[in-house]
Amino acid sequence: MVASSFQCVLAIMSPAGEKCTGESRSTFMSSMPQTRSNLALQAYEHIHCKLWNGELAVGSKLPEVALAKEIGVSRTPVREAVAQLESEGFLVQIPNTGSFVRMMQRDELDELFDFRMHLECYALELVIQSADAKLIQKLGELCAQMFDQIKQAYKSEQVDPVADGFVFTPHWHQLDARFHELLLQSANNRWIQRVSGQLHLMSRIFMPGRIIARNENSWHRAIRICRQHRGIVRSIRNGDLKTGRDTLCLHIDQGRHESMAFMDWIEAHINDKPAQRRKLPEEQANMLENILHLREVLANQVDA
* Helix, strand, coil distribution of the chain in percent, nearest 5: 70, 5, 25
pLDDT category at 284 given cuts 50, 70, 90 is confident
- pLDDT of residue 13 exceeding 80, the answer is no
Average pLDDT of 39-49? 92
pLDDT attached to residue 25: 36
Locate CATH 1.20.120.530 in the chain. Answer: 106-266
Architecture category of domain 38-102+270-303 in CATH: Orthogonal Bundle (1.10)
Average pLDDT of 40-45? 93
- pLDDT of residue 277 exceeding 60, the answer is yes
| Lowest-confidence pick of 26-35, 132-141, 232-241 | 26-35
Nearest to 251 by CA among 229, 223, 220, 234: 229
- pLDDT of residue 215 exceeding 80, the answer is no
- Classified as helix, coil or strand, 289 is helix
- pLDDT of residue 279 exceeding 80, the answer is yes
pTM: 0.79
Beta bridge mates, 92 = 100
Locate CATH 1.10.10.10 in the chain. Answer: 38-102+270-303
CATH number of 106-266: 1.20.120.530
